[in-house]
Amino acid sequence: MNSLFPSSNPATGTRGGWQELREAAVHRKGSVMLGKVLYIENLSVSFDGFKALNGLTLHVDPGELLCVIGPNGAGKTTMMDVITGKTRPDEGEAWFGGVIDLLALTEPEIVRAGIGRKFQKPTIFEFLSVFENLELAVAGDKSLWHTLVARLTSAQRDRIDEVLQIIALEDKRTVTAGELAHGQKQWLEIGMLLMQDPDLLLVDEPVAGMTPQETEHTGELLLSLAGKHSVVVVEHDMDFVRSIASRVTVLHEGRVISEGDMEKVQNDPQVIEVYLGE
């Protein structure tokens, strides 16, 4: 985070880097996106002429848990790909924290800026223990070897303990990750993302393949993260979203067709139609 948010500006010696970034952004965009953790506007992405995103505009507030739902092919994963720098849009803008132009950053820079992404398939190290996986995540982009021989600071140990508690794997710290249940592997990966303390956490279909109990626990986990982090959950399963959502954005054919609380969107005729049409 620190490299992107300088605390003072060496060029002027007086004004804070934050303020300068902010002024530049306001100058460019007006004040519409200030105070938003994420602000995306009019994003379009084409694959061979087919528009996976087609004028997508949405925002995420600090500390909120936003659910993005929509039928298969609506563009949900593509949206995450754009936010994380994996896919570049043909058109549109994406701003992080009101000041950072995500479209100007590389994938690793976006991670360092404070955006963590949980993929559908967990990317944990199966042959290492739960604790060692979290230990690796502390190091960020350092090498495996360096991490395993380096000593953790006491602050880092405390953070690992804290995260083990959040993901309810305290009893499993010495267990080899490969032996965990499906749901526990997913939580471990969320834990690894939390080691970097991201401001924004993107989670793609977190409960796919989970048992009802695992699903319920995942809902509680995601809710517990909101407040401290902003969380965007992309989900196809309406029932799960109903159990956790505060604000819901519905995507269809690459754009937002409905937005509001669950009550509102599930009674929206357009939403009912696209879900029935699947």
- Where on the chain is the footprint of ligand ADP (CB under 6 A)? 47, 52, 70, 72-78
Choosing among ligand ADP, Mg ion, none, which partner's interface includes residue 78 (Cβ < 5 to 8 Å by kind)? ligand ADP
> Which lies closer to Mg ion via its Cβ, residue 68 or residue 225?
68
Choosing among Mg ion, ligand ADP, none, which partner's interface includes residue 47 (Cβ < 5 to 8 Å by kind)? ligand ADP
* Nearest approach, Cβ of residue 155 and ligand ADP (Å): 38
Choosing among Mg ion, ligand ADP, none, which partner's interface includes residue 2 (Cβ < 5 to 8 Å by kind)? none
> Which lies closer to Mg ion via its Cβ, residue 72 or residue 154?
72
Choosing among Mg ion, ligand ADP, none, which partner's interface includes residue 98 (Cβ < 5 to 8 Å by kind)? none
What CA–CA distance (Å, rounded) separates 169 from 172? 5
* Nearest approach, Cβ of residue 248 and Mg ion (Å): 16
Choosing among ligand ADP, Mg ion, none, which partner's interface includes residue 219 (Cβ < 5 to 8 Å by kind)? none
Q: Output the CA torsion sign for 69, 75, 79, 80.
A: positive
> Which lies closer to Mg ion via its Cβ, residue 118 or residue 172?
118
* Nearest approach, Cβ of residue 60 and ligand ADP (Å): 17
* Nearest approach, Cβ of residue 80 and Mg ion (Å): 8
Mask for 158-177, x = binds Mg ion (CB under 5 A): --------------------
> Which lies closer to Mg ion via its Cβ, residue 77 or residue 156?
77
* DSSP per position, 200-221: EEEEESTTTT--HHHHHHHHHH
> Which lies closer to ligand ADP via its Cβ, residue 56 or residue 177?
56
Is residue 77 part of the contact set for Mg ion (CB under 5 A)? yes
What CA–CA distance (Å, rounded) separates 177 from 213? 20
What CA–CA distance (Å, rounded) separates 47 from 81? 13
Choosing among ligand ADP, Mg ion, none, which partner's interface includes residue 72 (Cβ < 5 to 8 Å by kind)? ligand ADP
> Which lies closer to Mg ion via its Cβ, residue 44 or residue 77?
77
Q: Which two tokens stand for residue 96?
A: 């992080």
Residues that bind Mg ion (CB under 5 A): 76-77
